[in-house]
Amino acid sequence: MGLSVQVRAENVGTFRFIHVFLMETLARWVPNTREMEVKVLFGRHVWDLAQQADALGKRTYELRAPLQFSLRPIERYAKFLEEFAITAPTPQKIAGFYDVVLPGLAARYQRYLASTDRLLDEPTVRVMERILDEFTRMQSDCRALRDELPQLRLNDREWTARLAELEAADSDIVAHRATAAVA
Amino acid sequence: MVQVKPEETKQVKGMTLRRDPLREECFQVVHSDAEMHEWPGMTPTSMRERLHRHMNNETGAIEIAAQCLVDFPDAPWELRMHLARQCWDESRHVAALYRRLREIGGRKGEFPISNFEWSITCMLDSLAARLALQNRTFEAGELDLLGQLPAKWREVGDERTPEVLESILSDEITHVRFANQWVKRMVQEDRRLLLKIAMAVRFLSAVTAAVAPKEGELSPVGVVFTAPKDRVPQVNIEDRRHAEFSDDEIEQFLRQSGYQSIMTAGSEG
């Protein structure tokens, strides 16, 4: 059995919240990061994240929720995002975003795609598949930059592993609502 | 409304400005255009300095648009989308200018840089005022500049740099246009914003006057500064129209600029 319309809207709204949060995180990091090439990388991906949030927000409207509806995730995941957003050293910002947060989010999209009815929910499927393709491009942009500037590589594997553990602490991060209305 | 904390500010010639965004150690950050190393003409050094300065200005433009996304989370989503798009455009501009700078033998940090636009714009506590200054004033000024610069580069046999500058120009028109549309819309909805914009313009004038070099003073590279009255810019009327400045606004700007050398539709750039 697939997901109800309400559960789909809640999931899409939660993903939208995360994309807006990540867009703001990269935006905050642009002036607070020293390296010009990294500012450029983040600046490019601010727009990707905004477009992805926009596509998700248009889809929420088609799922009987408001246009550009965002749903804050469960507290532990929201806290994880907030703590990650205050990361200061550039290699950590890059590793955290491109090696942990994006892959973690991609895995969540894959889980959603595996659980929804791909025919009934095809508009959501298309949006998510596009986002996954874009994640691949964004990670490839990051890889190219780290190849060009190896000093941006993070050698502290423990830090990345700890962050990945926090990211994956909850498989369902949607703060489901009791009522039928998701607005 | 955004409140800039005292630790986020700096003092320059008695004016309180936003502290500079972070830069790599290789850069020497100065606090006014008067401290920049602007060589006259189109010598190889002057050409590198022009690209270097422009590259940092575009970096500042990413930072200002990005900071607006951070400082005004409740702005209409459509407007935030424009700001996010601007972040992408300005990022591409930095990358293109840096590529060209390296092609002509330049490097990051070769010349001093100034974050003048950031330091002023990011002191303002309303998005309407920031758009009025950054997009409708500074970037509109860039339309004028970019309207005439490609010809200068072509005169010295460079075809590649004008290609970069003309691409940047078309993007900047879009940034000025969305600001024109949104500032008008925001002011229609809340007339009090007019006061915020007027105060922002006054703040810009005060800072500009405070940091301006005195007439006859020499620049760090030994060039005599010209008096403001002798520095009349060419006005890119065609692109100001593309950016949806009204004819009245253009006329007013021409009057303020001194009318001297008006770039008519279809001439340079």
Helix (H) or strand (E) holding A11: helix A5-29
Written as tens digits, the pLDDT of chain A (183 aa) is 789 999 999 999 999 999 999 999 999 999 999 999 999 999 999 999 999 999 999 999 999 999 999 999 999 999 999 999 999 999 999 999 999 999 999 999 999 999 999 999 999 999 999 999 999 999 999 999 999 999 999 999 999 999 999 999 999 999 998 765 544
Interface test with A, best of B8, B70, B99 (most A CBs within 10 A): B70
Counting Cβ atoms within 10 Å, is residue B241 exposed (0-12), middle (13-18) or buried (19+)? middle
Task: Show Cβ contacts of residue B138 under 8 Å, excluding neighbours closer than 6 positions.
Answer: B117, B121
Complete domains list, chain B, with CATH = 26-263 (1.20.1260.10)
Q: Give A-chain residues touching B81 at CB under 8 angstroms.
A: 50-51, 54
Q: Say which amino acid occupies B85.
A: R
ipTM score above 0.90: yes
- Residue B19's closest CA among A38, A32, A89? A32
Residue ranges with strand state E in A111-154: none
Q: What is the mean pLDDT of chain B?
A: 92
Does residue B233 register a pLDDT over 80?
no
State the nearest Cα–Cα gap between A115 and chain B, in angstroms.
30
Given a contact cutoff of 8 angstroms between Cβ atoms, the answer to whether B64 and B21 are in contact is no
Domain ranges of chain A: 5-167
Q: Give B-chain residues touching A50 at CB under 8 angstroms.
A: 80-81, 84-85
Q: Coil, helix or strand for B217? A: coil
State the nearest Cα–Cα gap between A34 and chain B, in angstroms.
4
Asked if the Cβ–Cβ distance from B63 to A28 is below 8 Å, we say no
Helix (H) or strand (E) holding A25: helix A5-29
Q: Coil, helix or strand for A115? A: helix
Q: Is A36 left (phi over 0), alpha (psi -120 to 50) or beta?
A: alpha
Classify domain A5-167 by CATH architecture.
Up-down Bundle (1.20)
Measure the CA–CA gap between A43 and B87, rounded to whole angstroms: 5
Nearest to A68 among B55, B69, B77 (CB): B77
CA dihedral A76, A81, A87, A90 (to 10 degrees): 140
